[in-house]
Structure 1
């Protein structure tokens, strides 16, 4: 695959705070890369550097062969962006907003109107096409903001937490749109707080923490890296959770949430060690489940709590 986005050794500091510390990754054309990390990890700083809103201290960004430092206007011309906050005119209708952006981006009046009608249908906004944007619900405004980013098709699409606040139906609508864009060869860079979203959409995932890339791979690769099997169990007596944690404390990857205990195992055969230790301690199991780790569990295993980091 051709690399549509190439980020190499990107570094950005704000005074004594390092927001990005040598970040490198590529996004091939026709693929979706999920950029994950806790709040303050540096995701928004990276997006702002990529979209020319911030200038990095060092490193390089190339978009479709154009170096950001040498050709910032060409980079901007090839990127469609949906940020975390909608940039819409509340006083006019969704149709008027879409036509305005279409005209601003070089479409003729007829082309802008036709594209506006097409996008209103795609994002199921036809019923509110002529109402002032200020009267729309939060989810409808978000869908309109996404539609604006697609008025003129680009080969690179940057989505910064695009489904925040969307209901399940609207989220599915966005997912279908992302898959369609990747299917036509667009490189999609997606940041999200919904790990299920990254699991569903991303061909590859980059996890950053404290400004550094700490893991990269497909969802399945990251799950294998953290651990092969997850054991989840509940004791017959929920008051004995502390005793169970003590009995299992010498095993790796043991955690408790309420009365539920999870154990990260290298392989399913390790389940015997778990049940043996609990039996020795005289602790009865009410329910036990063995599954592959979820992406949420991968995220928690890889990242650490942050204090006063730059986002």
Structure 2
């Protein structure tokens, strides 16, 4: 059985950026286009309608009133946004596939540097199919769990005499907890499907089950470590933001910020939109770089685990349909 080192896997993203720091701005720009632009595309296209709908909202806020969330303009805007919101889903899948495949190439075949590892071809299309299959499994699993959980909770409640909300609440919590544990375990066992698909050039999903056999606890430890790392990064980002606010003289003047926003809202939409646009662009660029870094730090460890699992001939020749 191949050995898996959590420490080695956890540092995969850091090693990647240390060896190729130029990937941070390149992938940040890529994520701005692949991950963020699909989310804001509808707002950019419908910008005049957006201004018209939110002008009364801003005026109400400036006057200290509660805006009406069901105003005719807002409802009409939501209806016009629906086609763009539906378009977000396939674009998001494609963006995730392009980015994940790039991280795979950077970790597994670092010499293949063309276009900063970013492409869109057969591997990326297959990754879209893998993600759709995973989403379908999630939906079926959730529906089945809800139905089964409802019957279990009902049975426990009836066994307890049909009395007591505490019994029903405890049973619901227990069933939900067990369901989350089983779902997380299955997700970890299938976590090699995407790197397998990119590397082998074929659709892979259930084949991940046999590859990860015997490594469930290692994968669980890696997932816990990644969650802890993500929390530490978020805390660090907040601390840096507070320090920058202090240096910029913003801290301690929240009331002044509120007054400034109210004064801004009282101006015509063109005025406050023009003032906020540069900050919005800067924020999107910084967010794109941060999101690209976080995506890499979360994805690279599992890709490195795949590299470790397939380092030997025995692991590479593991059965494709053996379940444990």
State the TM-score bracket (shorter-chain normalisation). Answer: under 0.3
Name whichever structure is richer in strand by fraction: 1
The TM-score, its normalising length taken from structure 1, stands at 0.25
Structure number with greater Rg is 2
Higher RCO (CA 8 Å, separation ≥ 6 residues) = 2
